[in-house]
Amino acid sequence: MQRFFYTILLSFFFLTLSGQIIKGKGKKGGVRRVNFPNDKVENPRTNKDSIKIKIRKLPATDYKIFTIKNDTASVDTTLTIRDYYRFNPLYKDDFTYLTFQNIGQPVMPLIFDVTTDDIRPGFVADTKLTDYWKHSQTPFFKTPTPYSDLSFINGIKQGQVVNSIFATNITSQLNVAAGYRGLSSLGFYQRSIAESDRFFVNLNYTSKNKRYKLKTYYFIYNKTNEENGGIKNVSQFEQSGKDFIDRGRIEVNLIDAQNQLKNHRFFVGQSYGILKNKFLLVDRIAYRYNLYQFTEDHPDNIFGSSQVTDKINDSLYLKSFENFSGLQFKIKQFKLESGICFLYQFYNFKAAKILNAQSYPKFLEYNDLSLDNQLHVKHGKLTVNGQLQVGFTKNIAGYYLNTGASYSLPMDFVLSARLKSISKRPDFKFILYQSDYDKFNWYHPEFKNELTQKLQAGLSHKKFGKLSVNQIIVNNYTYFARDSLPRQSTSGVKYTALKYQNDYRYKHWGISGDILFQKVLGGNQILSLPSYIVRGSLFYSHYYFQHNLYVQGGLTAKYFEAFYAKAYNPVLADFVVQNYQKIGGYPIVDFFVNFKIKRFKLYFKLQHINALLKQDHPDYYVAPLQPYRDFNVRFGVRWIFFN
């Protein structure tokens, strides 16, 4: 894997040299840099030296990042309180999440949300996707010069998270990029090592006449976790005193178990313009391979009886092939796309099985068709976008509707609204599952489509903050019950939430606040959440050394109401409902100091400092039998290069 990664980077390096530099005879036989005609230049500056190299500085706004949905954003080199919130191993704001004691382990959601973005049913082991990129999240780049983004975050006890991205323009029409993210962390407790790798390479090409466009990428994701099943004796943690201050001495339930998830994805998207580029012939192909495996050297009675006496080896995979062909009409700020999508799915286990007179098939194989549509309209201050998929074959019979609008109001207010309406089959993990443990075997072809309705509205202002409200209703909600078996609720789930966030600055001082109120109006027995989550930061920031050094430092506190958080099942690598232990009701206080020099950022944090006050009698958990992280020192760096 590493050889392949370095080979790709070296290839990009030599291509960059050939595309960006022309060797020739200047006035004194030096090297001359070539800028493309469309390059935008801000504050050009010429530095003269012995070899006469001409350097032109370009603003960060010229370096664009976008996804397959073309939601373009500029590279951000600023250091704000929101940037600090996002700098963690998840690389996103963790306000509505609670992490396990080691990075790379599961993340406990503190809210309820609809994360699906198409009509396809999901796979298994959702908790292993914390640092996974969906198809809609894979980044593409358009850069006038080579761009590099490097970051490092220290691990828990031992280890690190390293993330690197390199992008460049071979020509003004062709951009290529590659990136690698590696995680390895030891953790405080026995059998909690986490490792993951994420690699991508992609290409973005547009012909000179703008008629032909190509986007393609290859994506690899691997994650391996040692699983300890939680602590065996809670008194060793809660009444430990100084005897078990070394968490590695605490006994755990599993000593030889681990699970692994692998994902490979290949995508090619092409379009060709006809009739003066008002119509585009569109074709997109995607291939996905997913593998999940749980292994244990010896069966453990906490999971019940097993069919083997030596080694547990649960292995399953999902292969899928997707081909969309359609027509896109585009004129000015109006775009409409429609076409037919063919979807092949093959969900497979080791062998067909008969257990207790119950027969379980070896695989599920589906060939399906759907009608896919997309719409984007922008008129003045109004922007409307939507996506509609309609499955008209048996296995994916249903629909996926996602439509939203935003409108710029007077006085810089922005009003937005979004509606998601989904009817789709439950994930494969609920329909069919096989394991060497007797308990984890089921087949439920009778499960009905989950019917989901989500309505979201928001009002934002640069000065007065952001206010949003969510309403979610799910009928035929499918979940894992307390016995770790799949269930489908007949009464469904009703959920509503109100969230407000704002940042206030006065001279060098700042206050940042987030507050969320939520209520489960129906289905309280299967969906338990805290009624409120609050986070606040008090910080100071200032420039030093003639504006060359920017310093930001302060305190952050987060608190949420105690609730029956879901329990974690390592065999399924998923959460299950429980009603015997509440978690939460404790504050999490962090002290941080961050530095920025040009495009170099250094982050330093003392995490959960109030845990020092509870060393003798800790009572903080993230899930039943899973303690939350003790006080620890976190630091990291991020450095962006524009060559």
Q: HEC profile for 214-251? A: EEEEEEEEEEEEEECCCECCCHHHHCCCCCCCCHHHCC
535-551, pLDDT tens digit by residue? 999 999 999 998 899 99
8 Å CB contact between 393 and 420: no
Q: How many CA atoms does the CB half-sphere of 110 hold within 13 Å?
A: 27
User: Is 549 within a domain?
Assistant: yes
- State the pLDDT at residue 615: 83
Q: How confident is the model at residue 434 (pLDDT cuts 50, 70, 90)?
A: very high
Structure tokens that stand for 338 in this block? 């429609």
Q: 16 versus 280: which is more confidently predicted? A: 280
User: Is 4 within a domain?
Assistant: no
pLDDT at position 358 over 90: no
- State the pLDDT at residue 55: 55
Q: Which residues of 321-343 are buried (b: 16+ CB within 10 A; e: fewer)?
A: ebbbebebebeeeebebebebeb
- State the pLDDT at residue 616: 82
Structure tokens that stand for 23 in this block? 């060797």
- CA distances to 38, 210, 453, 498 from 62, rounded to whole Å, are 11, 19, 39, 36
User: Is 294 within a domain?
Assistant: yes
- State the pLDDT at residue 240: 67
User: Is 31 within a domain?
Assistant: no
User: How many whole angstroms separate alpha carbon 97 and alpha carbon 582?
Assistant: 16
Which residue range is the domain that position 62 belongs to? 58-642
Q: 36 versus 155: which is more confidently predicted? A: 155
- CA distances to 22, 179, 199, 331 from 12, rounded to whole Å, are 16, 12, 15, 36
Q: Which of 21-35, 60-74, 599-613 has the highest mean pLDDT?
A: 599-613
- State the pLDDT at residue 54: 53
- State the pLDDT at residue 58: 78
- State the pLDDT at residue 75: 86
Percent pLDDT > 90 in the chain is: 75
- State the pLDDT at residue 59: 78
Q: HEC profile for 92-125? A: CCCCCEEECCCCCCCEEECCCCCCCCCCCCCCCC
Total domains, the chain: 1
pLDDT at position 16 over 90: no
8 Å CB contact between 183 and 131: yes
- State the pLDDT at residue 579: 92
pLDDT at position 22 over 50: no
What is the average pLDDT score of the chain? Answer: 89
- Find the CATH number of the domain harbouring 354: 2.40.170.20
Q: What is the DSSP letter of 47?
A: -
299-331, pLDDT tens digit by residue? 988 999 998 888 999 999 999 999 999 999 999
- State the pLDDT at residue 56: 63
C-alpha distance across the termini of the chain, in Å:
27
pLDDT at position 27 over 50: no
pLDDT at position 172 over 60: yes
User: Is 102 within a domain?
Assistant: yes
User: Is 18 within a domain?
Assistant: no
User: Is 1 within a domain?
Assistant: no
177-232, pLDDT tens digit by residue? 999 999 999 999 999 999 999 999 999 999 999 999 999 999 999 999 999 999 99
User: Is 13 within a domain?
Assistant: no
pLDDT at position 362 over 60: yes
pLDDT at position 26 over 60: no
User: How many whole angstroms separate alpha carbon 156 and alpha carbon 178?
Assistant: 27
8 Å CB contact between 404 and 395: no
